[in-house]
């Protein structure tokens, strides 16, 4: 059973990817600082995959990827157990664009320095297989839609710059040593939750993204959704995004890993989205219809750093990985709301 190191494995996308990894027969080593997540999700991952009795399927280490002594220990332990780490899926990092404008050094430190520490240790242990959690945010404000992987990289905030910087580092590592196998997955807007209702997004810090806010407004009833901008160049004036179900995104990671194990060394960039754009208003309408609830809203000024339209050209991921997004926007709304109600009921 191949042992995969998942950095940030207790976070939103990381934890859902762990489900797909287990279902595909991998063993997992998770490291997470739990700065914005909780190790309690590991039990839920084992519960969903019906492997509660096989707790050795997941080895968890609480720690920070910037701690080289800690990282070294994790790799050494895997050797001692005769189950060396054969590949890394690297999620660990910070992701709030507006926060990154206020505290850029923290973003460079976590996202870029953290990745450098990880890559150094990987090189040391000859583990040269990596799937990197990149973002469509690196395209900035693209000149045309849908966005192809060859489009200019032009981030407009420190968060985007930090993701682009790690992609650059990976490219230089590959040039220096073409034994590396590298896939950069450029995510569009992941939402939803596992269909069981037992795993989903659980941000401990202040939430800024549209979908969790939609859920809170629907739940609390006394809140109003603020829609950022009504004069974008779109059909109804609200911004367009390419929302993708988190389990489809998880599946893209496992297929990327399988691709790496079955192909020659290379570096590749892949957009992971559905290729379908939805305005904020269309999203609100769909959420209300599918979940039979009310979302009161008002229009506000545009949010600083927002772009009008981000939609993926996902053909390369589909053809290369033999991957296909299977869940539509209704599934995203139903699954995400099922989970969020559970979380909000607990608070
Ligand atoms: C945001 C980040 C992006 C990050 C991604 C992670 C910004 C500018 N971008 O993407 O870098 O990779 O999250 O998931 O922070 N909206 C409202 N009202 C709200 C919240 C959002 O109208 O209360 C709108 C936004 O203006 C946007 C759309 O909903 O048009 C989606 O917003 P969001 O979920 O925050 O995602 P992004 O901004 O695309």
306 C-alpha to ligand 1 centroid (Å):
7
Residues 224, 298 contacting (CB under 8 angstroms): yes
Q: Which residue's C-alpha comes closest to atom 25 of ligand 1?
A: 228
Report which protein residue has its CA nearest ligand 1's atom 14.
189
Ligand 1 site, residue 189, Cβ cutoff 6 A: yes
- Ligand 1 centroid to residue 303 C-alpha, Å: 9
Q: Measured from the CA of 225, which atom of ligand 1 is nearest? A: 23
Q: Which residue's CA is the nearest one to ligand 1's atom 18?
A: 227
Distances (CA, A) of 339 to 41, 165, 216, 219, 343: 13, 34, 12, 12, 6
**Those residues with Cβ within 8 angstroms of residue 97's Cβ, 6 or more apart along the chain or in another chain:** 137, 157, 159, 160, 305
Query: Is any ligand 1 atom within 6 A of the Cβ of residue 230?
Result: no
* Nearest protein CA to atom 35 of ligand 1, as residue: 209
The torsion defined by the Cα of 57, 62, 65 and 66, in degrees rounded to 10, comes to: -160
Centre of ligand 1 from the C-alpha of residue 308, in Å: 11
**Closest-lying ligand 1 atom to the alpha carbon of residue 238:** 30
Report the distance separating Cα 341 and Cα 176, nearest Å. 49
State whether residue 24 is helix, strand or coil.
coil
Q: Is the bond into 56 cis (omega within 30 degrees of 0)? A: no
Instruction: Give the pLDDT score at 304.
Output: 84
* Cβ-contact 270, 318 below 8 angstroms: no
| Ligand 1 atom nearest 191 alpha carbon | 14
Contact predicate 293/336, CB 8 Å: no
Query: Please, is 243 exposed, middle or buried when counting C-beta atoms within 10 Å of its C-beta (0-12, 13-18, 19+)?
Result: buried
Q: Is 302 helix (H, G, I), strand (E, B) or coil?
A: coil
The CB of 137 under 6 Å from ligand 1? The reply is yes
The pLDDT score that the predictor gives to residue 305 is 82
Specify the residue with its C-alpha closest to ligand 1, atom 29: 210
Mean pLDDT per block of 10 residues along the chain (347 residues) reads 98 98 97 94 96 90 98 98 98 93 97 98 98 98 97 97 98 97 98 97 78 93 93 98 98 98 98 98 98 97 92 98 98 97 85
Atom of ligand 1 nearest to the CA of 283: 29
303 lines ligand 1 (CB under 6 A): yes
The helix or strand, by DSSP H or E, that contains position 60, with its residue range, turns out to be: strand 58-62
Q: Is 236 in the pocket of ligand 1 (CB under 6 A)?
A: no
Among 303, 309, 332, the mutation site with the greatest number of ligand 1 atoms within 8 A of its Cβ is 303
Three-class SS of 195-251:
CCCCCCCCCCCCCCCHHHHHHHHHHHCCCCEEEECCCCCCCCCCCEECEEEHHHHHH
Report which secondary-structure segment, H or E, holds 331.
Answer: helix 329-346
Taking CA atoms, 285 is separated from 142, 172, 261, 294, 342, in Å, by 27, 45, 42, 9, 22
Is there an atom of ligand 1 within 6 Å of 208 CB? yes
* Minimum-distance ligand 1 atom for the alpha carbon of 307: 30
Q: Are 193 and 204 in contact (CB under 8 A)?
A: no
Measured by CA distance, the residue closest to atom 20 of ligand 1 is 210
| Active-site residue, 174 included | no
> 298 pairs with which residues across the strands?
226
Atom 7 of ligand 1, residue of closest alpha carbon: 97
How wide is the angle at C-alpha 45 spanned by C-alphas 43 and 50, nearest 5°? 95
Question: Checking DSSP bridges between strand 85-90 and strand 129-135, what pairing results, if any?
Answer: parallel
Give the per-residue pLDDT at 204: 52
Could you tell me if the CB of 97 is within 6 A of ligand 1? Answer: yes
3-state secondary structure of 28: strand
Q: Which atom of ligand 1 is nearest to the CA of 240?
A: 30
Q: How high is the pLDDT of residue 202?
A: 84
DSSP-assigned states of every residue in 110-171: IIIIHHHHHHHHHHHTT--EEEEEEEGGGG-S-SSSSBPTTSPP---SHHHHHHHHHHHHHH
User: CA–CA separation, 42 vs 84, rounded Å?
Assistant: 21
Q: How far from 59 is each of 46, 77, 114, 119, 123, CA to CA, in Å?
A: 12, 10, 21, 20, 22
Give the Cβ contact number of residue 263 at 10 Å. Answer: 11
**Residue of 139, 159, 174, 243 marked active site:** 159
* Angle, alpha carbons 119-131-92 (nearest 5°): 65
């Amino acid at each position: 059973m191949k042992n995969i190191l998942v950095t940030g494995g207790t976070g939103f996308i990381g934890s859902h990817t762990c489900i797909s990894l287990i279902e595909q027969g991998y063993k997992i080593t998770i490291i997470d600082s739990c700065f914005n997540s909780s190790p309690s999700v590991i039990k839920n991952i084992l519960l969903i995959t019906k492997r509660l009795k096989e707790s050795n399927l997941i080895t968890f280490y609480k720690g920070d990827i910037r701690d080289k002594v800690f990282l070294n220990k994790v790799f050494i332990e895997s050797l001692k157990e005769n189950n060396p780490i054969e590949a890394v899926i690297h999620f660990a990092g910070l992701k709030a664009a507006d926060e990154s404008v206020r505290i850029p050094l923290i973003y460079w430190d976590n996202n870029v320095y953290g990745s450098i520490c990880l890559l150094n240790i990987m090189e040391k242990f000859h583990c040269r297989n990596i799937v990197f959690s990149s973002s469509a945010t690196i395209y900035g404000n693209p000149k045309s839609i849908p966005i192809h992987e060859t489009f200019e990289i032009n981030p407009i905030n420190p968060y985007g710059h930090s993701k682009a910087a790690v992609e650059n580092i990976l490219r230089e590592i590959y040039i220096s040593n073409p034994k590396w196998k590298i896939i950069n997955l450029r995510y569009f807007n992941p939402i939803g939750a596992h269909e069981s209702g037992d795993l989903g997004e659980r941000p401990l810090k202040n939430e800024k993204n549209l979908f969790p806010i939609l859920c809170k407004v629907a739940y609390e009833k006394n809140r109003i959704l603020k829609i950022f901008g009504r004069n974008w160049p779109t059909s109804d004036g609200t911004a367009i995004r390419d929302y993708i179900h988190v389990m489809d995104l998880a599946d893209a990671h496992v297929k990327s890993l399988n691709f790496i194990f079955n192909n020659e060394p290379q570096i590749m960039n892949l957009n992971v989205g559905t290729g379908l754009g939805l305005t904020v208003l269309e999203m609100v309408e769909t959420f209300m219809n599918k979940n039979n609830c009310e979302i009161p809203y008002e229009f506000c000024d545009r949010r600083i750093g927002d772009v009008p339209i981000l939609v993926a050209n996902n053909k390369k991921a589909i053809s290369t990985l033999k991957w296909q997004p299977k869940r539509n926007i209704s599934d995203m709304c139903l699954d995400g709301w099922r989970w969020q109600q559970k979380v909000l009921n607990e608070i």
